[in-house]
Each structure stands twice: as structure tokens, then as C-alpha cells.
A = this chain, B = another copy of it.
Amino acid sequence: MPLKTGDEYVASIEALDLEANVLGEPSRGLAGHALVRPSLRAVAVTYDCAHDNEVGALFRVHSPLTGEQVNRFTHLHQSAADLVDKVLMQRHCGNRTGCCFQRCVGLDAANAVYSVTYECDRALGTGYHRRFRDYWAWVQREDLVVAGAMTDPKGDRGRRPSEQADPDLYLRVVDRQPDGVVVRGAKFHQTGMLNSHEIIVMPTLALRPGEEDWAVCFALPVDAPGVHYVLGRQASDTRKLEGDPVDVGNPTFGGQEVLTVFDDVFVPAERVFLDGEVDWSGPLVERFAAYHRQSYGGCKVGVGDVLIGATALIAEMNGVARASHVRDKLVEMIHLNETLFACGVACSARGLPTAAGNYLVDLLLANVCKLNVTRFPYEMARLATDVAGGLLGTLPAARELDDPEVGPYVRKYLAAAGGWDPLQRMKVLRLIENLVAGAGAVAYLIESMHGAGSPMAQRIMIGRQGDVAAKVELARKLLGIPPNNHS
């Protein structure tokens, strides 16, 4: 039965017992580590929802690959409706966790690799697609979490991989053996690596002839020999170590970002999905990015809903819920959030089948979606900060409430409108702080900027997909201007 529960998932990760460096220390038992545990809880929600009475139907879907019901987080989209459902599912997970739930990257990678390997095989006679189908059918049956790894360190960004002082600054094949390849390099910004079972590694840019060693795509178990992890720091991360969930802001869930190093790691041939076919690196990057840019039209919207809710709640606690400017700011937040959602839905509803049969989002609209995500959450955070008030930056620690001397003062002077308890007010303020200037801001603001590619990457795609020439044609026709033969 391919639909694990959240508990089963957590147990499966605990069993892996990965090692990683955390705050300068080699650490084990990560699944229970206060800095990592919240990220497992967030992923567990994606499992539990498939068993949920209310929303389960959205999370369960028939897989033509296995002939069984699978979790939609492992699904190869079979229709535009599937693409829309993906966005709805992501919004729901954002609603439940208030953070990045870290299971989309693998889903987006799989859908990209699926169609690109098909087309590569058709063009070049390679055999990657069958390999990938087999691999992914196993992932679906086991209901695994697959992290996706794309971003290379890049060193001097003004130079191609081979021009870098160190060629490893882009991950590459350093040895080709009969039964597999050996790779070296690193991937930055791995969201949710330490709570995954598998990794899919993809190139980070469109490669050119002569850059074959960097044109490699493959999968590995997270505990493959030679793979090393270093946990990234987040703002206010160590509040999770202090033992008081109130000051953490999001008391249960959280994200996780990891630097992953591949130090001459062997990848068996059956897990290699591209090796040297430089022409297919571009489409792979482009499609993965498009799927992932669509994702943000769901997940960030889901977190945005939580931020709107928290803002409305603090307005009530502050006694300003009925002020016209406060209502107007909430309307603006909803408007911005729903615009993002509209973009997520639209690029999905306009999706089309690939040659391989799974569905791809509309590339132009998916990039438009993400470019808006690099803007609107920032304005929403600004509006939330406005409504929440200065306590966002000056609130004492929750444990002051227990201090025999100052506790009564803090309680007395944090008195809220409507009889709300000061502790509840603290909780709401800390949740908003978490999202606008704390650990949650890593996913809600910084990742909204750079995840799935920085804004300039979207602008380049929009320029390419926007078909300016056709628009010039419209103007020319309307004006009766013949094409210019001279230009």
C-alpha cells in the first residue's frame, strides 16, 4: 500500500540516521534534533493529509505508472486538472504548516526528468526514460520523499563551468565506469534534505558542447557514501533549542536548508538519467524551473493565508480590527495573495501534454507567477508589520511571564482588547515575527526571491516566451505598416 502515514514516514527517516554538521558540530539523531524535527513534522503533514477525511481525495491520485493510488506528491501529472490540483494541495499544506513543507522539489524534478528523458531517448536513442520510469514507480510504491538538487555553487557567476578556478564549482562527472559514474561537486540551498529518502540531482544551467561532464542527472539515496551535509542557519534558528515554543513563532513546523557535498560519489548506471547530452540540460532546467515556479503559486499562497489570518487576529487583539485602514490593509493582503494564486492556477489550467504524456505548465505564465512571488510576499510582510505594531520588534521573551517579579508587569501591560490572554497575543506576534523577520522569513521572503531561480531568470524566460515579434506584428497590422526589410 503506497500511502504511508506521517508517523510511518517519520519512522522511516529516523531509521536512516543521517549525519550532518549542525552549527559547527557533526551530529547524528537528526530526526529528533530540535533544528530538524520541525521539518519532519512539516513533511509528515503531506502524508497525513492523504488519510484525511476532508482533503484526502485531493492528495490521493491514481498513478498509471503503478496502477495504484499514490500520494499526489509523487504523481506524474496526467491532465491540466492534475496541475491545478497540485496547486490546491500545496496551498492546503501551506495552510496547515505555515511554512515550506519541502516535498515539492522532488515532484517537480520527476515531472521534468520524465518528459526530458523521453525526448532525449527519442532524439538520441539513449535509454534514460525507461530507467527513470522504473525508478519513479519504486518511489511511488514506497511513497518516498525525494529532494531535488539543482543549484551549483557557481563561484564567479560571470564564468562558465569550465572557466572557473575550480571546475568542481559546478557538479560534474569525474569518472565514468562500466556500471556507473563518479561525481564531484556540491549543491546549495537544498530545501529539506535531511528529511528525505532520495535525492535527484540536475544540472543548474543550459550546457553547451564541450561541457559534457557537467550535463549529468541522477538519483541517489540520501545516505550514499561520499555525500556530506551542512545545515544552513536561519534567522532566530536557535530559539528552537531554547525549549519555549512561543518564542519560536511557528511552534510545530519549520523548514530546513542544507549544503550538500558530493565528494567522488559513485552513481550506479540505473540511476543515471542524463550523462553528457548537453542539449537536454537546457530543457531539463527550464521545465523543472517552470514546475517549481508554479509550485510557489500554491505553497506561498498557503503560507500567505496564515499570515493574513495572524494579521487579522492581532488586529482584533489590538482593538483595531474595525479601523478602515486596517480592513483595507487586510483586503490588500488578500488581493496580493490571490493574485499569486491566480497565476498558479492559470499556468496550470493552460498546461499541455508533453511528448511523454505527462502535463507541463504554461511556461510563460509559470514564470510570471514566480516573478510576482518575488514581490508580493514582501509587500504582504510589510503590511502585516504595519498592522501588528511595534511589539513585533520589542516583545520580551515569553518566559518573562513566569518571572516572579516582572511576570505580573508583562502580563498587566500586554493586556489585549476583547479579553484575549497576553500569552495568546505573544503567540500571534511571534508567528508574524517568524514570517517577516525570523526563521519563517527564510522560506516566505528569501526563498520567494531565489527559490526556483532568482527574478532575473524569470525575466529572461518572460522575454523569451513573451513573443514580442508577434506583438509587433499586431501593431504593424493595425497601422498598415509593412515589415521593414532593412532591419
The 10 closest A-B pairs by CB, nearest first: A309-B471, A419-B486, A418-B487, A24-B399, A393-B446, A156-B417, A156-B319, A342-B346, A349-B349, A390-B450
* CB within 8 Å for A338 and B427 given contacts A390-B450, A468-B312: no
- A206 interfacial by beta-carbon distance below 8 Å: no
Considering the complex, give the chain B residue whose CB is closest to the CB of A22.
B397
- A135 interfacial by beta-carbon distance below 8 Å: no
Please report the C-alpha to C-alpha distance between residue A159 and residue B24 in the assembled complex, in whole angstroms: 51
Please report the C-alpha to C-alpha distance between residue A418 and residue B374 in the assembled complex, in whole angstroms: 29
Q: Cβ of A232 and Cβ of B396 under 8 Å apart?
A: yes
Please report the C-alpha to C-alpha distance between residue A220 and residue B36 in the assembled complex, in whole angstroms: 48
- A205 interfacial by beta-carbon distance below 8 Å: no
- Inter-chain pairs besides A306-B475, A345-B346, 17 sampled, C-beta below 8 Å: A24-B400, A155-B416, A158-B322, A165-B415, A189-B394, A233-B397, A236-B237, A308-B471, A310-B472, A330-B468, A335-B368, A338-B365, A342-B342, A374-B386, A392-B446, A418-B486, A424-B481
CB-CB under 8 A from A468, the residues of chain B are 308-309, 312, 330, 334
* Contact with A346, one of B159, B309, B346, B433 (Cβ below 8 angstroms): B346
- A6 interfacial by beta-carbon distance below 8 Å: no
- Copies of this protein chain in the complex: 4
Q: Cβ of A247 and Cβ of B233 under 8 Å apart?
A: yes
CB-CB under 8 A from A402, the residues of chain B are 24
- A153 interfacial by beta-carbon distance below 8 Å: yes
Please report the C-alpha to C-alpha distance between residue A310 and residue B474 in the assembled complex, in whole angstroms: 8
- A437 interfacial by beta-carbon distance below 8 Å: yes
- A39 interfacial by beta-carbon distance below 8 Å: no
Query: Which of A155, A319, A468 has the largest number of chain B CB atoms within 10 A?
Result: A468
CB-CB under 8 A from A24, the residues of chain B are 397, 399-400, 402-403
* Contact with A230, one of B396, B416, B474 (Cβ below 8 angstroms): B396
Binary B-proximity of A309-343 (CB < 8 A = 1, otherwise 0): 11011001011101111011011001100110111
* Contact with A419, one of B305, B416, B424, B484 (Cβ below 8 angstroms): B484
- Jot down 28 A-B pairs with beta carbons below 8 A, ordered by A: A23-B399, A24-B403, A155-B417, A156-B318, A156-B319, A165-B415, A169-B415, A186-B409, A188-B391, A189-B393, A230-B396, A257-B394, A258-B394, A259-B396, A259-B410, A309-B475, A310-B475, A327-B463, A331-B466, A341-B365, A378-B378, A386-B455, A393-B447, A394-B442, A420-B487, A427-B480, A428-B479, A431-B478
Considering the complex, give the chain B residue whose CB is closest to the CB of A336.
B368
Considering the complex, give the chain B residue whose CB is closest to the CB of A320.
B157
Q: Cβ of A403 and Cβ of B26 under 8 Å apart?
A: yes
- A33 interfacial by beta-carbon distance below 8 Å: no
Number of interface residues of A (CB under 8 A): 158
* CB within 8 Å for A393 and B463 given contacts A313-B476, A478-B431: no
CB-CB under 8 A from A228, the residues of chain B are 405-406, 409
- A84 interfacial by beta-carbon distance below 8 Å: yes
- A412 interfacial by beta-carbon distance below 8 Å: yes
- A166 interfacial by beta-carbon distance below 8 Å: yes
